[in-house]
Structure 1
Amino acid sequence: MAKVVCVLYDDPVDGYPKSYPRDDLPKIDRYPDGQTLPTPKAIDFKPGALLGSVSGELGLRKYLESNGHTLVVTSDKDGANSVLDRELPDAEIIISQPFWPAYMTAERIAKSPKLKMIVTAGIGSDHTDLQAAIDRKLTVAEVTFCNSISVSEHVVMMILSLVRNYIPSYQWVVKGGWNIADCVTRSYDVEGMHVGTVAAGRIGLAVLRRLKPFDMHLHYFDRHRLPEAVEKELNLTWHPTVEDMVKVCDVVTINCPLHPETEHLFDDKMISKMKRGAFIVNTARGKICDRDAIVRALESGQLAGYAGDVWFPQPAPKDHPWRSMPHHGMTPHISGTSLSAQARYAAGVREILECYFEGRPIRDEYLIVEGGKLAGVGAHSYSAGNATSGSEEAAKFKKSA
């Protein structure tokens, strides 16, 4: 029987919810590209419950324990004395979320002789050293498309919040003020602006579709060009390089995977090619942006604003400069873990586990690494290599919390 270690974020500070604002979720059968939602044989949770925190357990305990497996759930994931590290020698499966990632470095994989599979409850497997997983012939899987629309909605919200200067305006209300001039001196309309996405996959394309009604000029870079019919439908301009695109954009939204080729893509050099006063929204991965270059650009005025919910490492240390830099709209990594999204990615994890234990193939859409090579959606989206370097800094959070 297998030991499954599940790393999830902490429960709410006031305790696990006893009730929720809404009684149910809208029913969705398919994603926009026709892919079906997760299809496990059963689920042991009510959609709309908080499943992504420790007490939610992704709704897995009944299923795993009734089949003789052991489930360990923890939020303690960083540092040599963490619960995760103590459980690694006996773990067959590691599950975590991008929002509170278990950084599966080469060192941790080497300490896990029984490890067979690493699962992301959500989208994005960059917190695993993919090259080490390939070398060990591990299976790496994620629940593709489960929260892509959730993230795209978050992107649109953040673009509007930055450009319209929403957060500082809200703060004046909280302070008891009516400071209209202070609010509007950094407020603009998005109508007529040029916005571009770095990558136009499931999330990037969904962002473009949602922005079209705002009468913005839409641009994209992707190494896989979209069909001509889609470009005509949305009146898209494709750019052969990121550098070419950012020169013309008032807003840039980052929606590409993190791998060695995209790490620190937005550094001082790239940001210098952007329009003065442009905005960046990054809900992809924090490490795609050079942390200190973003701070310098905001302080100098080269960037008018930066928003996102992705940091490196995660959770971010208390002294992370993105917490205190000017003109930001940062949130914890929440874009893809709405209660709606949790129902889908918890069901997807259950589907992956059922396939694994029953010896059935895991969907190609969910596979990142299998049989010693990139596989499924991973072969399309990722490059072999390691993007986990520096993740040991996450241990600082425990010291400063």
Structure 2
Amino acid sequence: MPQKRLSVVVTRRLPEAVETRLSELFDVTLREDDAPMTRAELTEAVRHADVLVPTITDQIDAGLIGQAGENLRLIANYGAGIDHIDVETARRNGILVSNTPGVMTDDTADMVMALMLAVTRRMQEGQLLMQRGEWEGWAPTAFLGTRLGGKRLGILGMGRIGQAVARRARAFGMQIHYHNRRRLRAETEADLEATYWESIDQMVARMDVISVNCPHTPSTYHLLNARRLKLMKPTAVIVNTSRGEVIDESALTRMLKAGELAGAGLDVYQHGIRGNPELVNMSNVVMLPHMGSATIEGRIEMGEKVLLNVKTFADGHRPPDQVVPSML
């Protein structure tokens, strides 16, 4: 008698190739539109599915997990970040959690450099001038920005993405500095030509650019709070492609308005998809809609990781990208 196929519920539209392969392997319920599931829809999904495939837009908290049926045994997240999932509660309820690490490293690092260049070279201001038809010709003192070469880059979080940023920034001639929960091995540090700072305060006070590349955890919430932001040089720029909660966005907004920071490049925001409204019209701020991992190749590779995790679980083995609370 053939084995019953796993019931898999996918909460958002995924690349067509990924959805096709999921349909071939499992009894899958796909999303017809690309709107996030409502709480009621998520509750219905966890009550009946064997596997849930959520994204960052789904809050898989203790209350939702408490509604899960006895069949739900795997939450195979489509994405590397899992701060929207209560991993500890899932574990206590016998539900495994997996993610998709590593596949968006280069894409996100590319975006960090793009934001650095966009802010320091005032690209948004130039583009708006062209779109409005207001450019009257070249002038020696118009749109003067700063070059990246020779500047000090401070990286908060030196994991895969932080190291990829360091390699790119070094090619631009930047000096690499970093703070990390654990210091890198000496050979890695030497390879990156990176200087370690045990004190975040001392590092941020000396940097020309700060790149936020650490995850959102209880210990990194408002890691760059008002006091630390005040330590930065008024000529400094901050770039965040990680999680909005790492920066006190209200304090950042006040400082940018007051000219106490030179600019910011943001791909993530403290309150979901809505950044501080005052940031939107600032000429020295570049805001993107969470595009760090938005490449065709990256999103397909994320889907392939999900497929591998679910297929391995279906075969009775531990998913290769299982997340455990001790990793957080």
Q: Same fold (TM over 0.5)?
A: yes
User: Aligned AA for 1:71?
Assistant: T
Query: Partner residue of 1:174?
Result: 131
1:277-296 equivalences under 5 Å are 277-296=235-254
Distance 2:96 2:294 in 1: 24
Q: Does residue 78 of structure 2 align to residue 121 of structure 1?
A: yes
Seen in structure 2, the aligned counterparts of structure 1 residues 240 and 184 have a Cα distance that, compared at 3 Å, is: farther
Task: Tell me which of 148, 151, 156 is aligned to 2:105.
Answer: 148
Partner SS for 1:306: strand
Task: Tell me which of 285, 301, 305 is aligned to 1:328.
Answer: 285
Alpha-carbon displacement from aligned partner over 1:358-387 (angstroms, at most 9, x marks no partner): 112222xx2212xxx43xxxx2xx2xxxxx
Query: Partner residue of 1:18?
Result: none
Query: Partner residue of 1:49?
Result: none
Q: Give the CA deviation at 1:326.
A: 5.0
Q: Does residue 116 of structure 2 align to residue 112 of structure 1?
A: no
Query: Identity percentage over the alignment?
Result: 25
Task: Please list every run of 5 or more consecutive structure 2 residues that lacks an aligned counterpart in the other structure.
Answer: none
Contact 1:197–1:204 (8 Å) recurs in 2: yes
User: Aligned AA for 2:259?
Assistant: G
Query: Partner residue of 1:12?
Result: none
What's the TM-score, normalizing by structure 1? Answer: 0.74
1:11-50 equivalences under 5 Å are none
Q: Does residue 317 of structure 2 align to residue 360 of structure 1?
A: yes
Contact 1:196–1:218 (8 Å) recurs in 2: yes
Query: Partner residue of 2:191?
Result: 233
Alpha-carbon displacement from aligned partner over 1:225-272 (angstroms, at most 9, x marks no partner): 122223223321100022221011010000011110001111211101
Query: Partner residue of 2:59?
Result: 103
Partner SS for 2:30: strand
Seen in structure 2, the aligned counterparts of structure 1 residues 311 and 78 have a Cα distance that, compared at 3 Å, is: farther
1:241-320 equivalences under 5 Å are 241-316=199-274, 320=277
What's the TM-score, normalizing by structure 2? Answer: 0.89
Task: Tell me which of 191, 198, 208 is aligned to 2:166.
Answer: 208
Q: Does residue 135 of structure 2 align to residue 131 of structure 1?
A: no
Distance 1:155 1:108 in 2: 34
Distance 1:325 1:89 in 2: 46
Q: Give the CA deviation at 1:87.
A: 2.7
Contact 1:5–1:84 (8 Å) recurs in 2: no
Q: Give the CA deviation at 1:280.
A: 0.8
Seen in structure 2, the aligned counterparts of structure 1 residues 270 and 328 have a Cα distance that, compared at 3 Å, is: same
Higher relative contact order (CA 8 A, sep 6+): 1
After the TM superposition, which segments of 4 or more aligned residues of structure 1 sit over 6 Å from their partners? none
Distance 1:276 1:68 in 2: 55
Q: Give the CA deviation at 1:320.
A: 4.7
User: Aligned AA for 2:252?
Assistant: I
User: Aligned AA for 1:77?
Assistant: P
Q: Give the CA deviation at 1:147.
A: 0.7
1:69-80 equivalences under 5 Å are 69-73=27-31, 75-77=34-36, 79-80=38-39
Query: Partner residue of 1:197?
Result: 155
Q: Give the CA deviation at 1:298.
A: 1.0
Distance 1:258 1:195 in 2: 21
User: Aligned AA for 1:106?
Assistant: A
Q: Give the CA deviation at 1:195.
A: 0.7
Distance 2:39 2:299 in 1: 29
Seen in structure 2, the aligned counterparts of structure 1 residues 264 and 57 have a Cα distance that, compared at 3 Å, is: farther
Distance 1:354 1:193 in 2: 47
Partner SS for 1:177: coil
User: Aligned AA for 1:350?
Assistant: L
Contact 1:194–1:216 (8 Å) recurs in 2: yes
Distance 1:57 1:315 in 2: 25
Seen in structure 2, the aligned counterparts of structure 1 residues 356 and 275 have a Cα distance that, compared at 3 Å, is: same
Query: Partner residue of 1:223?
Result: 181
Task: Please list every run of 5 or more consecutive structure 1 residues that lacks an aligned counterpart in the other structure.
Answer: 9-53, 383-401
Residue correspondences, number = 321
Query: Partner residue of 1:34?
Result: none
Partner SS for 2:292: coil
Q: Give the CA deviation at 1:353.
A: 0.9
